[in-house]
Structures are given as structure tokens and as C-alpha cells.
Amino acid sequence: MGIKTVYEDCDVLVVGGGMGGTGAAYEARYWGRNLKIVIAEKANIDRSGAVAQGLYAINCYMGTQWGENNPEDHVRYARNDLMGLVREDLAFDMARHVDSAVHKFEEWGLPFMKNAKTGRYLREGKWQIMIHGESFKPIVANAARNSADKIYNRIMVTHLLMDESKGNRVGGAVGFNVRTGDYHVFRAKAVIVAAGGASHIFKPRSVGEGMGRTWYAPWSSGSAYALSIQAGAKMTQMENRIVLARFKDGYGPVGAYFLHLKTYTQNGYGNEYESTWYDDTKAMVGEYIDHQPTPTCLRNHAFIQEVKAGRGPIHMVTKEAFQDPHLEEVGWENFLGMTVSQAVVWASQDIDPKYINPELTTSEPYVMGSHATCSGAWCSGPEDISPDEYQWGYNRMMTVDGLFGAGDAIGGTAHAFSSGSFTEGRLAAKAAVKYIRDLRNENMEISDKQIGDFKQTIFQPMENYTIGRNEITGGTVSPSYLLPIQGLQRLEKVMDEYVGGTSVNYMTNDKLLERGIQLLDVMEEDFEHIGAEDLHQLQRAWELKHRLLTAQSVAQHTLFREETRWPGYYYRGDHMKLDDENWHCLTLSRRDPESGEWQMEKAPVYHIVD
């Protein structure tokens, strides 16, 4: 193949320059003054990742300097929202450092809204502070740019390299430039994966002409999970997918509406409905329904049940708040700074929230470990507070030596959000630098064969297309290859119907999951025949393969956990109750990189905070 290979040798390689990745690059430089730090990013770090479009609020800030919250309070909050199951050591570690990250953002020029009376950051809620955040991403990207030796934009990382002198140690990563088609080989002593979570695993509500409109960024393709899974890293809580109640069709956020504008929901007949489902929910989850604040999944549950009972649609009552010109402005600005398309949808559907209460809907499920759920890699915790079973050397290191993670990549750490993900990047980088120092002059072995094999594998979809294209005279259906979009729609359909998507009201059971897993396995074979007509489609092909691995992991975990822990996120029809006696635990999986077999196990939940 006449493809150019570009080599880069470095100490720390950061895969993905989003919130976690920029934090990692910044901190790696602080501790590793003389180390070579490189970022490989699929898009361009100035506008990449979930924060690309900007944010209106930083959702995780303790405010400890003003006595507002302590890290322990945040652990209790996250634990409560996740029905008891979080990695409390990681959550505490993030929470005790997050304020300093936020202070950095302000120092770097991010404009914060301030409370005119107190001078403090303006609170939207107990944990959220409000910002003029359109330029949030370029601001953190600038900090990363000032810290890294080199930033490679437009590199889709497809696989991690392994050190062949040791059984279980990472040695870098490989990928390709989505514009030039060059093959890139990064040899690194430590790798920090911060490549974000996954949308388009389940069939979205918006299909056809609306396809591409999702709540979670459509370009988040589960690479953080797939790269780690391929390398043999253990994953945790992958069943804990997230479903969001959001404004219909534009997926506009509701946080500022509930918290700042004090809007509220009602059913299609103008009635409050959450209390209707209290007894039903109590029968499923027991006293968790009495917790304050009500866990997000249980609020979703009431929403879903009310719609199923035929009393939809659910509306957000905006007509009252929007009479106040200030709140009206905040309501619109909330979208203009973060989800412009919701404002466009309303304009196109003649919805003025001052006069019409807009509809809400529940989204398709997404997989992510930094927002309000816990999916991700199983990693070592901080040495001062983690119990032995959660600690094997270096903070945020996965079960593969030298492989670290941050943000969506890491499991068990819900409610980190933008600031918490950046903080996790910092924590991972600090530990990665220590890991590199401890390595001293130990050599790694990465053979030409390993590098050559990956090159062959990565560009194979273009080969498939070039050869197979000759067999058809027109159209997109070929006997020899499958286009990425066709594969994606197949994946989404299976996940939707068998693993608990929207079209089945988030319901699944062991029989459905077993069949779904079979179908996903068949897909894995078929995806060897993906055809890519150009570099853009090659990127789509690899995004699809990463999504498939993520989906397989979600299905395996969902089958393993025999209970309904989070009604409103998904239901196991064969185990419709929360079962604390058997399942007050974390789930772990490992896919054998050689055989492709999945092994599942339970891990204890340690409650470190009372």
C-alpha cells in the first residue's frame, strides 16, 4: 500500500483533546517539565468533544472556599442519584480537586456570572455555576496547546499498541489522519485515553431527515471504551446507560429551566403526574424513592409510565416564567450558548414558550461515564483513600499497565461533568508522570509486525470498497461490502429492540439480551467487510467498529446484572425489582483480546463516606 507512515515517540500520549484530554496535557506538563507530551485528536481541539459548542453552566463546583459544599457532600449526592452505586474513592478524589480546576478556567479568561450581592459565582443549582461559556472549549484548548509538545489534530486513533516485552502493558497508539490518509504510529510510555462516550449506539428518536440530531454529540463514537476493551482493560457499570428528559426534537437541556427559571412539568391534561407513580415505584425500588433529591432515573420512570398510560405528552410549563423578561432572556440564551438547534426547532414549529408550553421527551440511551451515569473503565484509585481492591499502583490507571483514563473513559464517577472531567485528566496525568518516572530506563518492545498488522487492518475497509465496487454497476448495495451507514443502522436497530431502546420503552430481558448478543456477534463478523469509499467513510467505518464493541459491552453487562436497578434508564422484565441483597455491587467485564470471550464478575461497593 502506498500509504505514508508517520512515527512519533513520546512519553505521555493523550488520546482525545476534549475536557479530560486538555486537563491531562496541562497537568502532565506541570509534573513532567522535561517529558514529551503529545495529543492525538480526531477533530480539532479548539472545537472538539461534548463541549465543542460551549456550555451555559459548569455543573460540578463545590464552592468549598465559601463553605457551600464539601467533597463528601458531592459523593453523597452522586451515590444517591445512582441508586447507591458509585466508586466513592474516585468521586471524592475528583470533588476535592475540582474547585481548583474551575479557578483555573477563570484565570484563563472564561467569563463567569457573579452574584451581585455576594460576589460569588452565580449558582444555578446546588452544584452548578453559570458561565458565558461559548468559548469554554477554545480556552481549555489554549492551556493544552501551551503545555503539549505537539498536537496532532484530525487523527482518528483506532487501536492501542502493546509492549511485547510485557504481557499487559500499553506501548502507544495507532490511527490515521482523516484528511491526508497518513498512517500514524505513536510510541509512548504512558497513554491517557480521554476519547469521550458514545452516542448512536441505540437507534435515535430522530431518524430519517433528523438523523444526526442527538442529545449527546453525534461524533462521540465510544472510542474511549473500544480502545480500552481492545487492549484487554476491565470495564465497569457499562449497563448503566443514560436516558435524558429533554425538550422534544432539539434535545435542549432542561437544567436551567428547572433550577433557575423554576419551570415544572405536567402531563398532556395539565396535571402533576409524578405522585401518581409513587406507590408503583416504591414497590420496585423500596425506600430509594424517598431519597432527596429524587434520583434522576426515578423521575424518568414516572415520565415514561405516564406517557405509556396514555396521558402524554409531557409539557414543561414555561408560560409563567417567561412573563418575566429577564427569565425569558435566560431561557433563550441557555440554548443560544449551548444547543442552538433547540431554538431553531421552536422557531420552525411556531413554539414561543411565552405562550405555549413546549413538549419534553425521553431520549434514546447513551453511554458515558462523566455526566450522570457511571459507564467506563475500571481503574485504580488514589492511594490515600482507596480500599485495596480499588488500588493497584497509580491513580486512574486501568487494569492494563501504563494505560490511564479520564472523563467519560473512567467508570464509577458520575456527575463529574466538564470541570470534573478536566480534573480527572489532571489526576490521571499526574499519576502517569509518576508511572513514567518509576519506569526509569526500562525499554519497550513494539515490533514492526505489530505496527504493520495494524496498518493493514486500519485501511482494509478502503481495500474492500475498491475491489467490491467493481461488482456492481450502481447504487449502494453490494454483495461484498457493507457501507458504514448501513452497519450503523443495523447496530442501532438491534440495540434498540433487544437491549432496551426507545421503541420498546427501555424494556429488555435475558431472552432478548441473549439474542441481541448473538446478533451483535454476527455483526462483528460482517463488519470485517465494511467498505469505505474515501477517508471520511474510513473514519465512519472505525467509529462504527468502536460503537459495536461498546454496544457488546453494554449488552453483556445488562445481561449480567439480574435486577432493575435504575428504572427509567432501562428495565429487566424478568427481574423488575431492585435487588440490594444480590446486586448492591459493581459489575466488571473483560473481553479477552485473543478469543473475544467476555468474562463477567462482581466487585464490592465500598461506602467510604457515611
Ligand X SMILES: Cc1cc2nc3c(=O)[nH]c(=O)nc-3n(C[C@H](O)[C@H](O)[C@H](O)COP(=O)(O)OP(=O)(O)OC[C@H]3O[C@@H](n4cnc5c(N)ncnc54)[C@H](O)[C@@H]3O)c2cc1C
Q: What are the residues binding ligand X (CB under 6 A)?
A: 15-21, 40-43, 48-51, 55, 57-59, 156-157, 194-196, 215-217, 220-221, 223, 370-371, 407-408, 417-419, 421
Residue 206 vs 281, nearer CB to ligand X: 206
User: Quick count: other Cβ atoms within 10 Å of Cβ 593?
Assistant: 12
Query: ∠ CA(551), CA(553), CA(557), 5° rounding?
Result: 120
Least Å from the CB of residue 415 to ligand X: 9
Q: Please provide the size of the chain in residues.
A: 610
Taking the alpha carbons at both ends of the chain, their separation in whole angstroms is: 60
Least Å from the CB of residue 524 to ligand X: 18
Least Å from the CB of residue 219 to ligand X: 6
Residue 403 vs 578, nearer CB to ligand X: 403
Backbone angles phi, psi at 175, to 5 degrees: -175, -165
Residue 48 vs 296, nearer CB to ligand X: 48
Least Å from the CB of residue 466 to ligand X: 24
Q: How does strand 5-15 pair with strand 183-193?
A: parallel
Residue 423 vs 502, nearer CB to ligand X: 423
Least Å from the CB of residue 572 to ligand X: 26
Residue 17 vs 531, nearer CB to ligand X: 17
Least Å from the CB of residue 286 to ligand X: 30
SS3 302: helix
Residue 142 vs 276, nearer CB to ligand X: 142
Residue 375 vs 391, nearer CB to ligand X: 375
Sign of CA dihedral 229, 232, 518, 478: positive
- Of the candidates 153, 140, 154, the one whose C-alpha atom is nearest the C-alpha of residue 52 is 140
Residue 300 vs 421, nearer CB to ligand X: 421
Least Å from the CB of residue 316 to ligand X: 17
Residue 406 vs 609, nearer CB to ligand X: 406
Least Å from the CB of residue 367 to ligand X: 11
Least Å from the CB of residue 217 to ligand X: 6
Q: How many CA atoms within 13 Å lie on the side-chain side of 442?
A: 16
* 407-443 per-residue burial string, b: 16 or more CB within 10 A, e: under 16: bbbbbbbbbbbbbbbbbbbbbbbbbbbbbbeebeeee
Could you tell me if 414 and 371 are in contact, meaning their C-beta atoms sit under 8 angstroms apart? yes
d(CA 151, CA 39): 5
User: Quick count: other Cβ atoms within 10 Å of Cβ 505?
Assistant: 14
- Burial of 510 per CB tally in 10 Å (0-12, 13-18, 19+): middle
* 346-374 per-residue burial string, b: 16 or more CB within 10 A, e: under 16: beeeebebeeebbbbbbbbbbbbbbbbbb
**Residue with cell string 445512582:** 82
d(CA 565, CA 285): 8
Residue 185 vs 289, nearer CB to ligand X: 185
Least Å from the CB of residue 131 to ligand X: 9
Sign of CA dihedral 398, 402, 403, 404: positive
d(CA 28, CA 21): 10
